[in-house]
Structure 1
Amino acid sequence: MTLHFSPLSGVYRSRRGSGGMVPGRIVVGRAVAVPVLVGGVGLLGGALGLGAFVTRVGAEQTGELALEVTIGRRHTMWLSDVAHLIDLALSPVAAVLVTVVVAWLVARRNVVAGVVVAVVTGGGWLVAGATKLLFLRLRPPMETVRALVSEVGTTSFPSGHTAFVCSLLAAMVLLVRMWGRSSAWVWVVGVPVVLGVGASRLYLGAHYLGDVVASPLLVAGVTLSGVGLVSLLCGGRRVVCRWVR
């Protein structure tokens, strides 16, 4: 299967070959590299700007604390169970395991694609972790917001759980595009998952709204910046991949 990238449509088109291995050839177009890179940098700037704003102004002034207090007064047993399940399923250890397993499964068909999945998923998540050290935003006060999890310290901005699912979504989108398939179904499944995870972080009292909103901005910025930069560096070259049926 030979994959050709169309700069205008942004879609990888394919032609099936023969044999047990299906060779794929990806042509990175320079035509979209600069806009993608600029867009990525813009999203990164937006996420960092949001972090600077909410940290400097404070949750009480932005209304985020009042929102958390309101949510804390409306806890129900079944929603609490769901939120706790999400919290456990996306713990740091679980996130690492998911990344390794997904990357390994993809690498069984194509090593390069497996590396892409690992780098995009892990990269976005790690950048979010590094950003926490940049802003050192305090977590919501547990007693005030009636938090259901014990999250303390200065690691509130951005939400790591939300950043992880956003990074995994970005990796899956890139994967199916490399595979020459439509990414529509990935968005249909992934966006509700991201929204659900973000809502669970607010519900548990682990994060403020700004922390959750910043995660998709940050991950999208990192991903697009990476794609744009690689496209500029490798533009015009052909990267040969082989997909096992």
Structure 2
Amino acid sequence: MNEPWAAEAENPAFAASMLQKCLPTYLLVDVSSSMSPHEQTLNDLLDFLHGELVSSPRVSEFAYISIVVFSSEPTLVLEMTDLQYVPSMPRVQCSGSTQFGKAFDLVRQRIEMDVPLLRDQGKAVLRPAVFFLTDGAPMDPDWESAFRRLVDPQSKRRPHVIAFGFGKAREAVLSRVATKAAFLAEGVGNQREALTEAINSLLNSLVASARAEEMRIPAEAEGFRSIPIEYVE
């Protein structure tokens, strides 16, 4: 006679429900030359994010983090990981021009590598999330083709994209560099403050997502106004 629990264990959906859920989270940050005056602020905020997540094991075990920075070329500065195992954040430097397309291609490549690795670790992997921060407009005219590859509806691994713009970021561009939410800093404002609030919004989203065990998109961000997005999933 089969026990009820044995039948449930043979059910793939039931087996998946018993795995620890994991949200692959990519922080995609503009570090072009226009960000140079705010380089120290950016590094301080990455340290702050690290400290907050390390002190919240429930969140860091749920939201694995990878950091990609971009200017003329994109760079992977932190591979996908539970920040509990990272002693300190890498330092970033700002220089070069603002190129979106190569950054989107790199994130797509990393997702294709990271998701299988997380599954091999016994995780139930949710659709990835990309938090995109920029203070300017793209200088590469064909960036949208790379973005379309990243969010291709045919891909089960296509990420949710949440965009934050400040400085000289353009509303028309931000509305296209998002699938779930886009925010533009109010007025000219203070770029240090805008960066701080963007990271706070990211952190709040991850805390809420860990509690719900599913992605929670920020409805608003202090100091930013929500703008309509053109790409709707």
The TM-score range, normalised by the shorter chain, is: under 0.3
Instruction: Specify which structure has the higher proportion of strand.
Output: 2
- With structure 2 as the length reference, what TM-score do the two structures score? 0.27
- With structure 1 as the length reference, what TM-score do the two structures score? 0.26
Instruction: Please say which structure displays the higher CA radius of gyration.
Output: 1
Higher relative contact order (CA 8 A, sep 6+): 1
